[in-house]
Amino acid sequence: MQLRAPDYLKQFQCLAGACPHSCCQGWEVVVDEASAAFYRTLPGSLGERLRAALQTEDGEDYFALTDTSRCPFWDMDGLCAIHRALGPERTGEVCRSHPRFIEDYGPLRETSLVASCPEVCRLLLSSHTPLTFPETETDEEEEEPDPWLDPLLAVRKKLLEILQAPPRKIDFRLAELLALAVEGQILLDEDEAPLLPELCQVWTAPAPGSQMAGEGIFPRVWEALSGLEILGDDWRALLRRSREAVPGGVPEALLERIVAYFLFRYTLKAVNDGDLLGRVQFALLGALVVERAASLLPLGEALRIYCREIEHNEDNIDALLSAFRTEPALSPSAFFRTLEEQ
């Protein structure tokens, strides 16, 4: 099996008690079936605490948060009582894996680190060099690939090549990768996915302005984001100030890395539903929103809050993907207008 991950994966270490925005606060902690079964049989005072905290709803086990929105096992020193007493292998699967997200695509397994984690944000934004995704192999048994996997891999490779090809201004590069996604989506809609690699081989950038029409995606984007499920008051406060947000203050090299982060995480998900264009729009939306939010907050905070609010909520992601298909103000033409106006 092929394994692929961002180049900073091995540098990641949980900040534990030193984390300024712990994942043990604000989210109910989902407990996997095996861990829940173990907790229900554990003797002693810790076992009693675990059973008292363990809740079940719709067949899913979880730890309900305390009145201060903390995991009940997150001690005041910032460390986990389960980890301390039983070792990391006895914490739940979610706790062991976070902030890693793992996607299996038959013969390919990709691991990403979600930027809602402050340390992931630091690693992502600590370099101005192009983000890379090294590949390794294991002898693990693999499944057959989806027929669309290789064509989509070719598209993502080309998208990253376009993105990471200065000296053109990044807004021109982003418009070009959106244009490629538009053409790629046409092939997918016509059930011609095998032609995607050829499209990438013969691709030439469209003339600047050739796809521009109508209004840009702002301020409609802020309204759309305000209508989604909101987790934190900091995000709600940022959305209230959104009209003060302006683009242009983020170094192009860092904006490029943010777009690469989103492209890596989401492009191949089109293997499930064929929505390549929506996934690319989603990547651009994240970068454009964070770029503007960074005029009101430090860049790392803007990225962290956005990812916490959007990437951890599948309903929010689905709502945005739907809006890209149905709302003219969030259409590819609106994205082109925004990119070419900047």
Could you tell me if residue 110 is inside a domain? Answer: no
Domain that holds residue 320: 145-341
Do 283 and 160 share a structural domain? yes
Residue given tokens 């690319």 in the structure block: 280
Question: Using 50, 70 and 90 to split pLDDT, how confident is the model at 291?
Answer: very high
156 and 217, same domain (yes or no): yes
Computed on alpha carbons and rounded to an integer, the radius of gyration of the chain in Å comes to 21
Q: Say if residue 84 is in the same domain as residue 171.
A: no
In 3D space, the residue among 257, 207, 242, 248 whose CA is nearest the CA of residue 341 turns out to be 248
pLDDT at site 198: 98
Whether 130 is in a domain gets the answer no
Q: Residue range 296-323: average pLDDT?
A: 97
Per-residue pLDDT at 286 exceeds 90? yes
What is the overall mean pLDDT for the chain? 93
In a domain, 125, yes or no: no
61 and 161 together in one domain: no
Average pLDDT over residues 297-324: 97
Asked whether residue 207 is assigned to any structural domain, the reply reads yes
Q: Are residues 272 and 179 in the same domain?
A: yes
| Per-residue b or e along 249-261, where b marks 16 or more CB atoms closer than 10 Å to that residue's CB | ebeebbbbbbbbb
pLDDT score of 213: 55
CB 290 within 8 A of CB 303: yes
For the cut 90, the answer to whether the pLDDT of residue 218 exceeds it is yes
Please indicate, yes or no, if residue 8 is contained in any of the structural domains: no
Q: Which has more confidence, 18 or 337?
A: 337
Q: Work out the average pLDDT over 59-68.
A: 88
pLDDT reported for residue 214: 64
**Which pTM was predicted?**
0.92
Are 73 and 173 contained in the same domain? no
pLDDT tens digits, 100-130: 999 999 999 999 999 999 999 999 999 999 9
- Kindly state whether residues 293 and 150 are assigned to the same domain: yes
In a domain, 47, yes or no: yes
The total of structural domains in the chain comes to: 2
Instruction: Find out whether 289 and 221 touch, Cβ atoms under 8 Å.
Output: yes
Question: Where is the domain boundary, 82, 97, 112?
Answer: 97
Cβ proximity of 178 and 300 under 8 Å: no
In a domain, 273, yes or no: yes
Q: Are residues 169 and 89 in the same domain?
A: no
User: How many Å apart are CA 173 and CA 258, to the nearest integer?
Assistant: 14
With contact defined as beta carbons under 8 Å apart, do 196 and 154 qualify? yes
- Identify whether residues 61 and 154 lie together within a single domain: no
- Cα angle for residues 315, 321, 103 (degrees, 5° grid): 70
- CA–CA dist 188, 271 (Å, integer): 10
C-alpha 295/C-alpha 248 separation (Å) is 8
Domain identity same for 153 and 267: yes
Tens digit of each residue's pLDDT (9 = 90 or more) over 186-203:
999 999 999 999 999 999
Structural domain ending residue among the three candidates 97, 130, 157: 97
